[in-house]
């Protein structure tokens, strides 16, 4: 599929329709589709329009996933839903939740029950571990092909088969210190406007100093 789409607020998203059509037309042929939705990348100060676009896109995504998951073609299909670092500019970056999203990219993997097996247990364990894009690459390289086209780094893991060590560090995972959200102080990366949540257990990750924290009355 093409890398970008245009959002249709009425009716079904054309890209979702195309993907569904491919899966229905070629049930016995190995397939791969990649869809990059950019509904959230709106830096206009009329931020309510961006929220409306996101809500409309969510409805279309839910409808698409429900249809795919309930179809027979899902028996040997794996779906990965990812979100990147969020917005880095515009008026919504002052929202605390947007700042948190900027530090925590999001990934969900949907697998059919017949393919789960022991993978479900390993995935459940790994969701609480330090995983990276290298691990996703390792996982899907082995899933899509048994041929050794190129060597895989021995410091990456197959998320379906190998449990990531509980004590894996950013150094072990080859994550630069400046981009490690879970070790040490790191850099105060944008977006950051001193907006903090005193009830957030990891508040120090998003607030430059204690001076940023709100003072509760009493």
Domain-embedded: residue 69: yes
Write the pLDDT tens digit of every residue in 173-209. 998 877 776 655 555 555 666 666 666 666 666 565 5
Residue 215 DSSP symbol = P
Q: Structural domain of residue 69, as residue ranges?
A: 1-77
Q: Is 85 within a domain?
A: no
Most confidently modeled of 40-54, 99-113, 115-129?
Answer: 115-129
Q: How many domains does the chain have?
A: 1
CA–CA gap between residue 213 and residue 1 (Å, rounded): 45
% pLDDT > 90, the chain: 20
Q: Examine residue 214 and state whether it is found in any structural domain, yes or no.
A: no
Which pLDDT belongs to residue 196?
66
pLDDT at 172 over 90: yes
* Helix spans in 2-117 (H): 14-25, 47-70, 96-103, 113-116
Tell me the C-alpha distance between 10 and 59, whole Å: 11
Q: Taking residues 139-155, what's their average pLDDT?
A: 82
Residue 66 counted as domain residue: yes
pLDDT band for 82, please (50, 70, 90 cuts): confident
**Which of 108-112, 113-117, 166-170, 181-185 is predicted with the least confidence, judged by mean pLDDT?**
181-185
151-167: per-residue pLDDT in tens?
Answer: 889 999 999 999 999 99
Q: Decide if 204 is inside a domain.
A: no
- Three-state DSSP state, 112: coil
Radius of gyration of the chain (CA): 20
- Assess whether pLDDT exceeds 80 at residue 214: no
Closest CA to 98 of 82, 83, 87, 84: 87
Please check whether residue 110 lies inside any domain of the structure.
no
Q: Which residue has the higher pLDDT, 50 or 129?
A: 129
Does the pLDDT at position 65 exceed 80? yes
pLDDT recorded at residue 181: 64
């Amino acid at each position: 599929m093409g890398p970008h789409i245009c959002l249709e607020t009425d009716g079904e998203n054309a890209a979702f329709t195309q993907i569904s059509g491919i899966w229905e037309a070629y049930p016995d042929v190995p397939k791969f589709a990649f869809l990059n939705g950019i509904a959230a990348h709106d830096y206009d100060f009329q931020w309510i329009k961006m929220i409306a676009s996101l809500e409309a896109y969510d409805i279309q995504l839910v409808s698409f996933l429900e249809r795919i998951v309930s179809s027979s073609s899902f028996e040997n299909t794996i779906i990965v839903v990812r979100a990147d670092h969020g917005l880095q500019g515009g008026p919504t970056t002052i929202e605390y939740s947007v700042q948190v999203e900027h530090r925590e990219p999001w990934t969900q993997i949907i697998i059919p029950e017949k393919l789960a097996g022991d993978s479900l247990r390993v995935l459940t364990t790994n969701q609480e571990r330090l995983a990276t894009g290298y691990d996703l690459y390792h996982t899907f390289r082995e899933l899509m092909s048994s041929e050794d086209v190129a060597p895989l780094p021995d410091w990456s893991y197959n998320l379906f088969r190998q449990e990531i060590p509980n004590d894996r560090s950013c150094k072990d995972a080859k994550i630069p210190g400046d981009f490690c959200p879970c070790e040490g102080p790191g850099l105060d990366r944008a977006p950051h406007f001193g907006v903090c949540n005193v009830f957030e257990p990891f508040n120090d990750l998003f607030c430059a100093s204690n001076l940023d924290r709100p003072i509760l009355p009493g």
